[in-house]
Amino acid sequence: MEIKVFGRWSVEGVTVNDPSLSPYISLKPMIVPHTHGRYAKRRFERRHIFIVERLINKLMRSGQGSKKVAGRFIRGRGATGKKLLAMKIVERAFEIVEQKTKRNPIQVLVDAVVNAGPREDVVRVQMGGVIIPVAVDVSPLKRLDMALKHIALAAFYKSFNNKTPVEEALAEELILASKNDPQSFAISRREEIERIAKASR
């Protein structure tokens, strides 16, 4: 018997187009994407967490914390720390993605994550009492973390102070990011990070 995510979507035929990310995007199917923190205490073990559960976990964050997005604090629309609510948001977003694209929403999520992960970033290095920015390559695991964070943040940003439900905003962000569309919040953040890194080479 085939295991389907939420009892509806199969991971059969889902492919990762980026060879550097394929070892870190887990496609082990689960009916209910919830591992109860099984991989939380060991270093680098989060690469074994199913990609859908990792998106759910990112939705439980309370926005950017002390940072602002477009001058506003973005909060988690009541999903902070509530995994069941975050699961329902993702499930409804997957339904919308399937209706709009006629594609497997898990494949759309994987494509969005591959496109939204920045390949270069900037670190601050102190040399002789002077702090200078230096461009560095981003590890695959951090690329995946940053892509998921920006996708989740985009969903709350686009549904902040308006009538757009968060699941519709998440579905729209996944579709745009999977197409590498510059209108996607996650894609625009990736381009900004890579542009700053290119100037710091």
**Domains of the chain as residue ranges with CATH:** 45-118+139-193 (1.10.455.10)
Q: Mean pLDDT throughout 169-194?
A: 94
pLDDT tens per residue across span 56-65: 988 887 655 5
C-alpha neighbours within 13 Å on the C-beta side of residue 83: 10
Residue 71 has pLDDT above 60, yes or no: no
Task: Indicate whether 81 pLDDT > 90.
Answer: no
**E-assigned strand segments in the chain:** 120-127, 130-137
Contact 111, 16 (CB under 8 A): no
DSSP 27-54: ----SS---TTTTSSSTTGGGGSBHHHH
For residue 162, pLDDT over 90 is answered with: no
Note the pLDDT tens digit of each residue in 86-144.
899 999 999 999 999 999 999 999 999 999 999 999 999 998 889 998 999 999 999 99
pLDDT for the residue 98: 96
Residue 77 above 60 pLDDT? no
Q: What's the CA gap between 193 and 115, in Å, rounded?
A: 13
Query: Residue 60 to residues 149, 156, 192: CA-CA distances in angstroms?
Result: 10, 11, 25
Q: What is the pLDDT of residue 36?
A: 85
Cβ count within 10 A of residue 56: 25
- Residue whose C-alpha is closest to residue 188's, from 199, 177, 197: 177
| pLDDT averaged over every residue in the chain | 88
- For position 1, what pLDDT does the model report? 74
Mean pLDDT score, 145-162: 86
- Which is more confidently placed, 190 or 201? 190
Q: What is the mean pLDDT of residues 167-190?
A: 94
Decide: 145 and 49 in contact? Cβ < 8 Å: no
What is the per-residue pLDDT for 190? 94
